[in-house]
Structure 1
Amino acid sequence: MLLKFILARGGYTVVHAADGQQAHTMIDEMPPPALVLLDIMLPYLNGLQLLAHIRQKAEWRQVPIIMLTADSNERDIQQALAAGANDYMVKPFNPRELTARLQRFLTVPS
């Protein structure tokens, strides 16, 4: 998985969910991460549903969320940002651009 490789190479720890249902369970069971990269087009539960679920959980409300998806529909972009996404990137993405956006929200571990 290219994204996981790019993030690991950048010094980030990655926890991956295979689908929306697994992500929902992880949100309910895990402590909040430093950041969430979220796709809109996921099986079982879509990214907008997961975004709403994250923003409803008090301990997760301040977690930065970057939508990283092939969905370039303007309505979905506006909906995601209005629902609490901090940023939105469309696939295919430039790894350097993703890294720059991550650095806006995170500090790279030393």
Structure 2
Amino acid sequence: MPQITVDYSHPVDDTFDPEGFARALHEATVEIAAASPGGCKTLFRYSDHRAVGYEDPEGHAIFHVTIGLLAGRSDETKARLAQTALDLLGKYVTPQDGVIVHASAEVRDLDASYRKSDL
């Protein structure tokens, strides 16, 4: 814990620094949410397929960051971490000319059934 997932789309795959983003987000998660550094894990999921309203998707890229934490953090802490994730995306994503990057972030409590194992 925390479990972090970053979903993102074309056409920013060449201008996104996932390793730098993950490190910075892990550091922020430790600072803001009192997570352990070794517990921070991030999975990146890329897709060529996207849709934005009725528009041609070529001028759009989508990022969504989901951070799952064990219960107990305040709403203010979760909101601060979500905003920090968005701020960091602004540092680690360079949009191509004419491309709008739609970014969102969510911090949620992991379900009570959450378990982990290092196999």
On whether the aligned pair clears a TM of 0.5, the verdict is no
Q: TM-score, normalised by structure 1?
A: 0.29
Answer 1 or 2: which has greater strand percent: 2
The structure with the greater share of residues assigned to helix is 1
TM-score (norm 2): 0.28
Greater relative contact order, per chain length (Cα 8 Å cut-off, separation 6+): 2
